[in-house]
Chain A
Amino acid sequence: MSGEEFVPLSLTPLLIGTFAAIACALPGNFLVLRKQALIGDAISHVVLPGIVVAFLVTGTISTWPMMLGAAGAAVVAVVLIEAIRRLGQIEPGAAMGVVFTTMFAAGVLLLEQTDTSTVHLDVEHALYGNLESLIWLDATGWSSLLDIEALAGLPPELPRIALTLVGVTLFTWLFWRPLKISTFDEGFARTIGIRTGVLGMALVITAAIAAVAAFDAVGSIIVIAMFICPPAAARMLTNRLETQIAWSVLFATASAVSGYVLAGYGPLWLGGADAVSAAGMIATMSGLILAAAATFGPCRARIGAHTSA
């Protein structure tokens, strides 16, 4: 394909999809190891009520209030889950199930009650985003990458998700050691003075920020899939955390690129006329990668299952 076609139509969605996938996969590694993978699921469900409330408060579809609303909802959900878990002595899975379904229901109800006929705000969009529409109309070819005027016309989602990716990477890099130690052995982490509670919350908030930024562009399915599938697949390939992270980034990228390409061109190759959902396809591809890793990965079997003597 020529640059004239590729740059305006495919470059930006590809980049956004890839950045979103990596931004979710990075914290996902720790969530999976901490057996908190479903926090990602919970967060992505509660983004909807957050966005609706932000819309009700501001009355417009503008990005920052909505992102704040979504991030706020994620924090509220996490705090509620923790509160219900402790106050009611309920296992974390059930506490999560209570909170995110209720918040999602409240979001749907609020949406139904609100007149959103003039704006683009609906449940389907929240679920699977609209990656395909994030095109760069001002671009005319590769040369546009150097053209300030054209760059100004980039879809705003791109700089936003890029910034988020930088933030998530910084967090992971900066707190690498405490994150690793407290995930492996929380008791020991506390004895050397790591504030494990604060760190755990920071990880969840980082995941929430990644989820919200990614969600804005690609919908919530990609978010859940990328939190879990690339790290889970990477887990089957290595016994070193550093290597696992590298694999997960690779898998996230591979899912995003192959998913986007297949969604756009797969149907054409099969004789169809229209593209299918890119978000759905990216999630599907990540699932296929996981299936392959789970079948052939050299480190797929559990070790050290004997926890007590």
Chain B
Amino acid sequence: MLWDALTLQLGYNATLVALGATLLGVSAGVTGTFLFLRKRALVSDAISHATLPGVCLAFMALVALGGDGRNLLGLLAGSAISAWAGLLCMNWLTRHTRLAEDAAIGAVLSVFFGFGIVLLTVIQTMGVGRQAGLEGFLLGSTAGMLWADAMIIAIGGAVTLLLVMIIRRPMTLVAFDPEYAAARGLPVHRIDLAMMGLVMAVTVVGLKIVGLILIVALLIIPAVTARFWSERSEHVVLLAGVAGGLAGYIGAAISASAPNLPTGPIIVLVSFAFFVVSLFFAPKRGVLAAVLRHLRFQRRVHIRQGLLALAQGQKIYEPLTLRLLRRAGLARADGVATDTGKARAAKALRDERRWEIVRADLAHEATAALYDGLRDIETVLTRDQIAEIDRRIGGPQGILL
């Protein structure tokens, strides 16, 4: 059943939803990355909640004009207008008052949403049954998606994606270093607004499939996921698009394969699964890699410190240092150095002396900057240079081990 869904063999509606969700996932992932890199991920939460009053007002306007109120294009236009108003309120609060951005986000989010709920209850009293579609915007509803709806989502998603590609360079610059961008003459405020405009576009396009509460997940999770795998912003953008698209596709397929599996939440959960895998297993930034790296690093620090203490005949205070030295065969249980330990300790101390010379010498300035207490001197200097330094120290020569 799931296989049928993944190969788009579950019928017309399921195929439409799967394709729409994929496109939405790609454009949300790509757009959300800029937001994330700008450290404003949760602005999307304010934008998405701020769509509700617009949807309701548009519905009321459409009904007042004699329509049936469920014209998707009209509702989306309304949602865009109120999201934009919310965005402007948020910007005004952070720029002209002492409120920090998080408080401004929360204020806009809750007030706009609250007002939307008020309007929703007004609509409920307007006529019978006609408001049924509107609650769907909270959590998305893909049942009975029409060809026209799918086209709106597809075109909206594609246009957004195109716009992102066009202004990706200035957005990256602003996200990376807004002050530098401003110094170079980029209109930072306007680029920020454009970025928010794109986020808003994705939000509006995604209302039908995943709803306004969960669209936030599609904007944030793929970007965070992609960040684990690359240090280059272009790659992060691409990977986020792929992660978002895959989550959309797989999520829609799973949701179509059995009853009671709502599309929006499933897409979010699939996306989260990608995130968890990345969090733990990404090669450099992943938790597993970081833990291993930290343990290795801690071991190096303790052994080095232990060796220096041994060389200077000082007492070793830390039980962990002693344990690591013992395990490496460098010291006995009573803290006395073994023969290898003595040799390594002497080498460590001599290296410190050598570093002292290097760091006090103008000629070695670039090398001196590499000093961190752990680096072996032979990794940064040639044998000849070391020999030269040893001559300046005096004492026994030729310890290189």
- A88-B285, A93-B41 known; A228+B103 contact, CB < 8 A: yes
The reply to whether B98 and A97 form a contact with Cβ atoms under 8 Å apart is: no
Assess whether B60 is interfacial by the CB under 8 Å rule.
Answer: no
Task: Select one of B102, B121, B290 contacting A38, CB under 8 A.
Answer: B102
Assess whether A57 is interfacial by the CB under 8 Å rule.
Answer: no
- Size class of the B contact interface (CB-based, 8 Å): 35 or more
The reply to whether B111 and A94 form a contact with Cβ atoms under 8 Å apart is: no
Report the minimum CB–CB distance from B193 to chain A (whole Å).
19
A-B contact count (CB 8 A): 212
Q: How far is A232 from B108 in the complex, measured between Cα atoms in Å?
A: 12
Residue of B nearest to A40 (CB): B106
CB 8 Å contact bits of A1-43 with B (1 = contact, 0 = none) = 0000000000000000000000000000000100111101100
The reply to whether A84 and B279 form a contact with Cβ atoms under 8 Å apart is: yes
Residue of B nearest to A233 (CB): B107
Q: Which residues on the B side are within 8 Å of A279 (C-beta)?
A: 114, 117
Q: Which residues on the B side are within 8 Å of A263 (C-beta)?
A: 118
CB 8 Å contact bits of B254-267 with A (1 = contact, 0 = none) = 00000011101110
Assess whether B250 is interfacial by the CB under 8 Å rule.
Answer: no
Q: How far is A301 from B94 in the complex, measured between Cα atoms in Å?
A: 10
Task: Select one of B97, B138, B272 contacting A102, CB under 8 A.
Answer: B272
Chain A contributes a number of interface residues (CB within 8 A of B) equal to 68
Assess whether A272 is interfacial by the CB under 8 Å rule.
Answer: yes
Report the minimum CB–CB distance from A201 to chain B (whole Å).
19
Q: Which residues on the A side are within 8 Å of B228 (C-beta)?
A: 88
Assess whether A89 is interfacial by the CB under 8 Å rule.
Answer: yes
Q: Which of B251-294 contact A (CB under 8 A)?
A: 260-262, 264-266, 268-269, 272, 275, 279, 285, 287, 290
Assess whether B40 is interfacial by the CB under 8 Å rule.
Answer: yes
Task: Select one of B44, B103, B264, B279 contacting A97, CB under 8 A.
Answer: B44
The reply to whether A236 and B111 form a contact with Cβ atoms under 8 Å apart is: no
Q: How far is A97 from B215 in the complex, measured between Cα atoms in Å?
A: 11
Report the minimum CB–CB distance from A265 to chain B (whole Å).
14
The reply to whether B118 and A276 form a contact with Cβ atoms under 8 Å apart is: yes
Assess whether A51 is interfacial by the CB under 8 Å rule.
Answer: no
Q: How far is A273 from B126 in the complex, measured between Cα atoms in Å?
A: 10
Assess whether B36 is interfacial by the CB under 8 Å rule.
Answer: yes
The reply to whether A98 and B106 form a contact with Cβ atoms under 8 Å apart is: no
Q: How far is A263 from B139 in the complex, measured between Cα atoms in Å?
A: 25
Assess whether A150 is interfacial by the CB under 8 Å rule.
Answer: no
Q: Which residues on the A side are within 8 Å of B36 (C-beta)?
A: 94
Assess whether B213 is interfacial by the CB under 8 Å rule.
Answer: yes
The reply to whether A228 and B110 form a contact with Cβ atoms under 8 Å apart is: yes
Q: How far is A293 from B97 in the complex, measured between Cα atoms in Å?
A: 10
State which of B153-161, B219-227, B380-388 sits at the interface with chain A: B219-227
Q: Which residues on the A side are within 8 Å of B41 (C-beta)?
A: 91, 93-94, 97
Question: Beyond the given A272-B125, A280-B113, could you list 10 further A-B residue pairs with CB under 8 A, ordered by the A residue number?
Answer: A35-B100, A88-B279, A104-B213, A105-B269, A274-B125, A279-B114, A284-B114, A294-B93, A294-B96, A301-B96
- Listed by A's residue number, 24 A-B pairs whose Cβ atoms lie within 8 Å are A32-B99, A38-B42, A41-B105, A41-B109, A91-B39, A94-B41, A97-B41, A97-B217, A101-B214, A101-B220, A104-B213, A105-B268, A105-B269, A108-B262, A112-B261, A124-B135, A221-B114, A224-B110, A229-B107, A280-B121, A294-B93, A301-B97, A301-B98, A302-B98
